[in-house]
Amino acid sequence: MYSDNSQKKLTKPVTLSTLKKMKADKEKITCLTCYDASFTNVMNAAGVETILIGDSLGMVVQGQDSTLPVTIEDMCYHTAAVKRGNTNALIITDMPFMSYSDPKQALDNAAKLMQAGAHMVKLEGGSWLAETIQLLSQRGIPVCAHLGLTPQSVHKFGGYRVQGKGQEAADLLLADSLALVEAGADLFVYECIPTELGKALTETVPVPTIGIGAGHHTDGQVLVMHDMLGVNLGHTPKFVKNFLINGRNVTQAFEAFVQEVKDVTFPGPEHGFKS
């Protein structure tokens, strides 16, 4: 997948088959959020396999206090910008709040994102999404399911709280995961769950898993770009590490993230949560 130069530039397109092989080979998957062509190009050069156009853009780009105001038009705009700067990374785009409240709406909006340049769409929620994921999968749209802390439900959770604590909550996450795999989910993002639960889910779920605050056992890691560059505007979550340190430039920060995920030095124990 990589050339021999120091930047580890991706030499061929990353696909779902690539990610599945990486899981089988126990090679860690790297993912960063991105919202424009220029940073996409730098991530490609650094060897980041997957790029997420996150609805986090509402907070880090638009200055909103949550992801909820982000629209499907916003996501299409930024997806198209990333697509124009991308060479070989797999592009995943969030479906924003209330853009997939029923299967038909989800199909229409997912089609817009795919036409804008996404290779996969991401939805937040549990087994209630099974019918929607099945419909998207049947229509040829790859799906990433997002479980654990789902920011679009922050008001329901009563804040940004660790999910999956205790046996009952852990069992529910596992049941939801298996139901969504059965429906056709191709990838999972697990956010803010105990490290040991991240391990159990990754060992049980047959598709690749990417964690953010889910410990080092998941098949890959994702961070919000602004967080890992140390330019976040508010509270820094426990699972975040600033890679733009020690005299590094942005390219070197991305390369350091890739290297530390690959050699499993990031995330460390200090970035995880206990059951």
Q: Which active-site residues does the annotation give? A: 191
CA distance 132 to 106: 7
Q: Is 137 annotated as a binding residue?
A: no
* Residue 126: partners with Cβ closer than 8 Å, 6 or more residues away: 147, 172, 173, 176, 179, 180
Helix axes of 72-85 and 37-46: crossing angle, nearest 10 degrees:
50
Q: Is 55 annotated as a binding residue?
A: yes
Strand locations in 26-132 (E): 29-33, 50-53, 90-94, 120-124
CA distance 93 to 122: 6
Q: Is 263 annotated as a binding residue?
A: no
Spell out a b/e string for 26-61, using b for 16 or more CB atoms within 10 Å of the CB, else e.
Answer: eebbbbbbbbeeebbbbbbbbbbbbbbbbbbbbbbe
Q: Is 56 annotated as a binding residue?
A: yes
Q: Is 122 annotated as a binding residue?
A: yes
Q: Tell me the two tokens of residue 246.
A: 């020690």
For the annotated binding site for Mg(2+), the residues are 55, 94, 124
For the annotated binding site, the residues are 55-56, 94, 122, 124
For the annotated binding site for 3-methyl-2-oxobutanoate, the residues are 55-56, 94, 122
